């Protein structure tokens, strides 16, 4: 564990907007989060507030700015595997668990029955045979080319809103996020084991539209349209919406989980009382293990509270592998897919009650929690510092909150200091939901998130997208082929910042992009 020196400060203390929000939720009987951090003394809270205050000095890099993940930051040379490095402060025992988790993350599952009984149980319907198939070298995925194709690193989530009073109450009580298609479930699976038909193929088409920026520069945006061809089990329900989601990068997840709830909620302003036009709202969900109300912070709509929740969901829905947290061995098969439900599973009673019994899920979770954030590059260059100033001046930092300090006193499973404990980190996200406008709407409600709402994605590592993934694909569906395109798609609460970027001179816009590429 790396303690922050006494002459540094640590995290934001308290915000009036959060107090109002917290009291409102407490009165509603929904949750009871502490208004301030309980892991720090008053002196430490002051230091936290000081060190995480937004900078106004763009003449030089801030102290420790290059170490984006604190002591866990990877300082290895940059190459295509830079997102696959372990937390730099892992213990020897943690390093062993990381490498075991890595092997399981890359493991190719096979259909049942198989002679490799510890590896069977794939599907029967699935999107990928391994975690690594979607998270390419632990980085972000990309959409398929125009036309029908196996998407692999992009999926279509399927859902409808509540239509009965009981369904509405279930959503209100956070017992469900939405409701699956009655035939195709929560996600379209475009692959299947031998002897079973895949559910269908993702289709995507693009129309192009030109945007003219200050100075006359023209940028072409591509607007996607999605569909499904070759539906194997009948039509979709007319109320079912399609939400395309590319696989997000895996770095820094354990650090994100270690950010105290109070520090995320301090930036919330759901009623707009701060008058900034930025109305970040927390995603309130249930922890799938405990059933307790929790703060969602993972997934494109922050639908999962913990890394383990996210991993278990991916095992179940993307690969069709059951775990102790999601024990359904037939994955996303529905009662309307009788042939799928009749297929054999990979459950081996001598190994456990699920296809991936303990310790598989804990090891993959540990691996996912400890993929290191790479160190910043060129943070002190004048062009990058100027771009950082443009980033702040344009209003980008209003949602892409630069820095936090993680919880103090965290311990690992062996009672030792956690690698994620008490670290100054630079994720550039507030981890709240924001209305991003109609242009980015998928029309799909996910719990408290509407079709226009998306979680602010962290920006650390974004400049290495091409290096790791071999191509650039940004936003939830990968429609943006450059960082400039991604910014120009921002609407809703972010439209003011988007317009500020578009109104910059060409040199100032390029400087802002240089800054993003340094993250």
Tens digit of each residue's pLDDT (9 = 90 or more) over 424-447: 999 999 999 999 999 999 999 999
- Two tokens at 428? 């550039």
Asked whether residue 76 carries a pLDDT value surpassing 50, the answer given is yes
Give CA torsion, residues 447, 420, 88, 402, to 10 deg: 60
Predicted pLDDT of residue 151:
79
Render pLDDT for 244-286 as a digit per residue (tens, 0 to 9): 999 999 999 999 999 999 999 999 999 999 999 999 999 999 9
Is the peptide bond between 511 and the residue preceding it cis, with omega within 30 degrees of 0?
A: no
- Two tokens at 132? 């690594």
**Is 350 buried (19+), middle (13-18) or exposed (0-12) by CB count in 10 A?**
exposed
The torsion region of residue 236 among left (phi > 0), alpha (psi -120 to 50) and beta comes to beta
- Chain mean pLDDT for the chain: 93
Q: Which residues of 266-293 are buried (b: 16+ CB within 10 A; e: fewer)?
A: bbbbbeeeeeeebbbbbbbbbbbeeeeb
Render pLDDT for 445-472 as a digit per residue (tens, 0 to 9): 999 999 999 999 999 999 999 999 999 9
Residues with Cβ within 8 Å of residue 275, at least 6 apart in sequence: none
User: CA-CA distance, 120 to 116, in Å (whole number)?
Assistant: 6
Q: Which residues of 56-66 are buried (b: 16+ CB within 10 A; e: fewer)?
A: eebeebbebbb
Are 285 and 296 in contact by the 8 Å Cβ rule? The answer is yes
What is the average pLDDT across 126-132?
A: 97
Q: What is the pTM of this model?
A: 0.93
- Two tokens at 355? 């296809």
**Is 14 buried (19+), middle (13-18) or exposed (0-12) by CB count in 10 A?**
middle
Length of the chain equals: 519
What is the average pLDDT across 114-141?
A: 94
Render pLDDT for 472-506 as a digit per residue (tens, 0 to 9): 999 999 999 999 999 999 999 999 999 999 999 99
Which range (7-21, 155-169, 216-230, 408-422) has the least confidence?
7-21
What is the average pLDDT across 44-48?
A: 95
User: CA-CA distance, 154 to 173, in Å (whole number)?
Assistant: 30
User: CA-CA distance, 309 to 306, in Å (whole number)?
Assistant: 5
The confidence band for 13, taking pLDDT boundaries of 50, 70 and 90, is very low
User: CA-CA distance, 321 to 378, in Å (whole number)?
Assistant: 42
């Amino acid at each position: 564990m790396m303690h922050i020196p006494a002459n540094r400060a640590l995290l934001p203390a308290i915000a009036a907007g959060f107090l109002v929000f917290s009291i409102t939720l407490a009165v509603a009987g929904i949750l009871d989060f502490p208004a301030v951090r309980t892991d720090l003394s008053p002196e430490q809270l002051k230091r936290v507030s000081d060190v995480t205050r937004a900078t106004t000095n763009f003449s030089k890099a801030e102290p420790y700015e290059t170490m984006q993940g604190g002591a866990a930051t990877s300082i290895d040379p940059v190459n295509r595997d830079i997102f696959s490095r372990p937390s730099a402060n892992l213990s020897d025992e943690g390093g062993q668990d990381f490498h075991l988790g890595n092997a399981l993350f890359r493991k190719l599952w096979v259909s049942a029955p198989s002679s490799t009984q510890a590896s069977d149980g794939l599907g029967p319907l699935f999107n990928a045979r391994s975690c690594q198939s979607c998270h390419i070298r632990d980085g972000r995925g990309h959409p398929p080319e125009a036309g029908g194709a196996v998407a692999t690193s992009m999926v279509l989530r399927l859902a409808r809103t509540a239509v009965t009073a009981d369904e509405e109450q279930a959503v209100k009580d956070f017992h469900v996020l939405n409701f699956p298609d009655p035939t195709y479930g929560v996600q379209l699976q475009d692959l299947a084991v031998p002897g079973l038909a895949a559910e269908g193929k993702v289709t995507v088409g693009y129309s192009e539209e030109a945007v003219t920026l200050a100075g006359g520069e023209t940028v072409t945006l591509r607007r996607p349209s999605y569909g499904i061809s070759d539906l194997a089990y009948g039509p979709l329900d007319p109320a079912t919406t399609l939400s395309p989601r590319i696989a997000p990068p895996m770095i820094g997840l354990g650090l994100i989980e270690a950010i105290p709830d109070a520090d995320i909620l301090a930036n919330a302003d759901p009623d707009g009382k701060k008058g900034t036009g930025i109305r970040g709202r927390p995603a309130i969900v249930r922890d799938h293990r405990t059933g307790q109300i929790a703060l969602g912070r993972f997934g494109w709509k922050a639908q999962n509270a913990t890394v383990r929740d996210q991993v278990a969901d991916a095992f179940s829905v993307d690969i069709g592998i059951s775990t102790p947290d999601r024990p359904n061995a037939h994955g996303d098969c529905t009662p309307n897919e009788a042939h799928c439900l009749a297929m054999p599973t990979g459950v081996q009673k001598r190994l456990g009650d699920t296809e991936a019994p303990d310790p598989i899920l804990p090891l993959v979770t540990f691996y996912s929690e400890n993929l290191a954030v790479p160190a910043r590059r060129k943070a002190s260059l004048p062009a990058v510092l100027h771009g950082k100033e443009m980033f702040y001046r344009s209003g980008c930092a209003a949602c892409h909150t630069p820095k936090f300090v993680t919880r103090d006193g965290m311990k690992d499973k062996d009672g030792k200091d956690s690698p994620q404990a008490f670290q100054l980190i630079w994720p550039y996200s507030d981890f709240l939901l924001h209305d991003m406008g109609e242009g980015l709407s998928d029309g799909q409600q996910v719990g408290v998130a509407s079709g226009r709402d998306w979680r602010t994605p962290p920006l650390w590592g974004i400049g290495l997208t091409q290096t790791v993934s071999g191509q650039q694909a940004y936003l939830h569906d990968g429609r943006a082929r450059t960082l400039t395109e991604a910014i120009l798609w921002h609407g809703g609460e972010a439209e003011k910042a988007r317009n500020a970027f578009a109104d910059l001179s060409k040199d100032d816009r390029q400087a802002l992009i240089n800054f993003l590429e340094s993250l």
